[in-house]
């Protein structure tokens, strides 16, 4: 295991494969953010593994000059779990989408989150099936008209952050493809988190679901709708931070700071053992149809599955040094035939 002294550039993380997303796709921005972040991070390139499922987002590993596997629809969290448990020295990234991770792969996603395997899961949420050309996804809004829902979807959507919090995740965050500094900040926090880190990335599909996140990305709208969560600070937003969030038994509420006073505004604490308040914050918007929190919802320490598993193996090896198959069989009871 060697460490390189050379500082990487983004080019070191480009695989040379032609990137084949549609021009203008949000995936390009995310790819650039990840490549730049890894160059900055200065961790040996061969220690990164990108595992994806199926979908537009899942082509991601092909464009990364790291180890990677483009796997099966929905199964990336399971396969990545195997990689991470086999070699704890690796940083294993899961690239998935709203269809891949929340529909066909929902089961693997929730179990990876609860187990707290050391995985960094980036869920590109564009609220549509892109690779199959425009069918509603498990995050598409109710009533959405697509080729498979010509009369409007009757399929109530998931809120990915709420789902992750409910699945016992230890790190849950949300960011936006267009906000590269914030994406980088979230990537770094996820990288530094020991355990499963889950980031929902709002990603614009400019072909099949353009402007789904207009409220958060439009020049006119974004200041009024992005609620940045900063640990230890009151949750305020708006062009002049004139708006804020209060939290009570009846939920999180959007208020005018002037109406309630700064002392009544909730102070963000993602490290709270109880995920209750984080969950209330996640309910402020179900899909970006109004002011939406961006940032780290939850960040707590819990032993990882891999550490617990390896501790058991090391303890067993210590108790039974030089284990041999013959010894194993003889413990079972043997007899001799002369």
Partner 1 sequence: MQEETLSPPEPPEQLDRVVIRFAGDSGDGMQLAGTRFTETSAAFGNDLATFPSFPAEIRAPQGTLAGVSSFQVHIADWDILTHGDQADVLVAMNPAALKANLREVVPGGLILANEDAFDDRNLEKAGYEKSPLSDGSLSGYHVLTAPMEKLTKIAVKDSGVTGRAVLRSKNFFALGLISWMFNRPTEPILDWVKKKFGEDNPVAKANLEAFRAGFNFGNTTEEFHHTFEVAPAKLPPGEYANITGNQALAWGLVAAARAAGLSLFLGSYPITPATSILEEIARLKHFDVKTFQAEDEIAGVGVALGAAFAGHLAVTTTSGPGVSLKGETLSLALMTELPLVLVDVQRAGPSTGLPTKVEQSDLMMALHGRHGEAPLPVLAPASPSDAFEVAREAARIAIKYMTPVILLSDGYLANGAEPWRIPDFDNLPDFDISFATEPNGPDGEFLPYMRNEETMARPWAIPGTPGLEHRVGGLEKEALTGNVSYDPDNHEFMTEQRAAKIAGIANDIPEAEAEGPDEAKLLVVSWGSTFGAVRAGVNNATVAGYPTAHLHLRYLNPLPRNLGEVLDSYQQILIPELNRGQLAAVLRAAYLVPTVSLSKVQGAPFMANEITKKIIDLIEDAS
Closest CA to 34 of 112, 117, 120: 120
Site membership for partner 1, residue 308 (CB under 8 A): no
Q: How far is Cα 260 from Cα 11, in angstroms, rounded to an integer? A: 50
CB of 55 to partner 1, least distance (A): 12
Token pair 């997303």 in the structure block, residue: 21
Site membership for partner 1, residue 45 (CB under 8 A): yes
Please state, in angstroms and as integers, the Cα–Cα distance from residue 84 to each residue in 31, 33, 54, 106, 322, following that order.
Answer: 22, 23, 20, 19, 26
Contacts of 177 (CB under 8 A, 6+ apart): 26, 27, 29, 30, 33, 124, 183, 201, 202, 203, 204
CB of 27 to partner 1, least distance (A): 16
Site membership for partner 1, residue 94 (CB under 8 A): no
Token pair 């355990």 in the structure block, residue: 195
Residue of 11, 154, 271, 328 interacting with partner 1 (CB under 8 A):
328
Site membership for partner 1, residue 325 (CB under 8 A): yes
In the complex with partner 1, which residue's Cβ is closer, 80 or 163?
80
Residue of 51, 189, 236, 284 interacting with partner 1 (CB under 8 A):
51
**What six digits make up the tokens of 32?**
């650039």
In the complex with partner 1, which residue's Cβ is closer, 75 or 298?
75
CB of 158 to partner 1, least distance (A): 18
Instruction: Say how many residues touch partner 1, by CB under 8 A.
Output: 59
Segment interacting with partner 1 (CB under 8 A) among 187-195, 199-207, 280-288, 317-325: 317-325
Q: How far is Cα 169 from Cα 199, in angstroms, rounded to an integer? A: 11
Residue of 30, 34, 35, 61 interacting with partner 1 (CB under 8 A):
61
In the complex with partner 1, which residue's Cβ is closer, 75 or 193?
75
Segment interacting with partner 1 (CB under 8 A) among 153-161, 197-205, 255-263, 308-316: 308-316
In the complex with partner 1, which residue's Cβ is closer, 19 or 142?
19
**What six digits make up the tokens of 216?**
């958060």
Site membership for partner 1, residue 168 (CB under 8 A): no
Q: How far is Cα 237 from Cα 293, in angstroms, rounded to an integer? A: 9
Contacts of 108 (CB under 8 A, 6+ apart): 74, 75, 76, 77, 78
For helices 26-41 and 180-192, give the axis angle rounded to 10 degrees. Answer: 50
Segment interacting with partner 1 (CB under 8 A) among 146-154, 170-178, 246-254, 321-329: 321-329
Binding mask 96-135 for partner 1 (x = CB under 8 A): -----------xx--x------------------------
Segment interacting with partner 1 (CB under 8 A) among 209-217, 228-236, 260-268, 325-333: 325-333
Q: What does 161-227 look like in DSSP terms, one character per residue?
A: HHHHHHTT-SEEEEEETT-HHHHHHHHHHHHHSSS-EEEEEE--BTTTBTTTTHHHHSTTTHHHHEE
CB of 20 to partner 1, least distance (A): 9
Q: How far is Cα 167 from Cα 110, in angstroms, rounded to an integer? A: 5
Q: How far is Cα 189 from Cα 194, in angstroms, rounded to an integer? A: 10
Segment interacting with partner 1 (CB under 8 A) among 24-32, 147-155, 260-268, 320-328: 320-328
What is the binding site for partner 1 (CB under 8 A)?
Answer: 1-2, 15, 17, 44-47, 49, 51, 54, 61-62, 64-72, 75, 78-87, 89-90, 107-108, 111, 309, 312-313, 316-317, 319-320, 323-326, 328-330, 332-338
């Amino acid at each position: 295991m060697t460490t390189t002294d050379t500082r990487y550039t983004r080019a070191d993380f480009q695989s040379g494969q032609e990137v084949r997303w549609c021009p203008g796709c949000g995936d390009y921005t995310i790819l650039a953010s990840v490549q730049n972040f890894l160059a900055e991070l200065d961790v040996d390139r061969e220690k990164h593994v990108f595992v994806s499922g199926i979908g537009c987002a899942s082509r991601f590993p092909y464009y990364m000059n790291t180890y990677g596997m483009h796997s099966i629809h929905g199964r990336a969290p399971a396969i990545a779990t195997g990689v991470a448990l086999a070699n704890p020295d690796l940083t294993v990234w899961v690239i998935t989408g709203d269809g891949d991770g929340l529909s066909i792969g929902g089961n693997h996603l929730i179990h990876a989150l609860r187990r707290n395997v050391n995985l960094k899961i980036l869920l590109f949420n564009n609220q549509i099936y892109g690779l199959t050309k425009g069918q509603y996804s498990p995050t598409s809004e109710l009533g959405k008209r697509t080729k498979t829902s010509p009369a409007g979807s009757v399929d109530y959507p998931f809120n990915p952050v709420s789902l992750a919090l409910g699945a016992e995740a230890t790190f849950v965050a949300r960011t936006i493809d267009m906000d590269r500094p914030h994406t980088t900040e979230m990537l770094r926090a996820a990288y530094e988190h020991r355990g499963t880190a889950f980031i929902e990335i709002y990603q614009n599909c400019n072909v099949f679901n353009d402007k789904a996140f207009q409220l958060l990305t439009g020049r006119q709208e974004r200041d009024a709708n992005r609620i940045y969560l900063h640990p230890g600070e009151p949750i305020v937003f708006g062009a002049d931070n004139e708006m804020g969030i209060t939290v009570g038994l009846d939920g999180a509420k959007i208020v005018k700071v002037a109406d309630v006073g700064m002392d009544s505004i909730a102070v963000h604490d993602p490290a709270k053992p109880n995920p209750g308040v984080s969950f209330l914050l996640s309910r402020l918007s179900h899909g970006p149809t109004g002011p939406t929190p961006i940032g780290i919802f939850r960040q707590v320490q819990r032993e990882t599955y891999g550490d617990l598993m390896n501790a058991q193996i090391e303890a067993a090896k210590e108790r039974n040094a030089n284990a041999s198959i013959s010894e194993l069989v003889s413990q079972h009871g043997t007899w001799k035939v002369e």
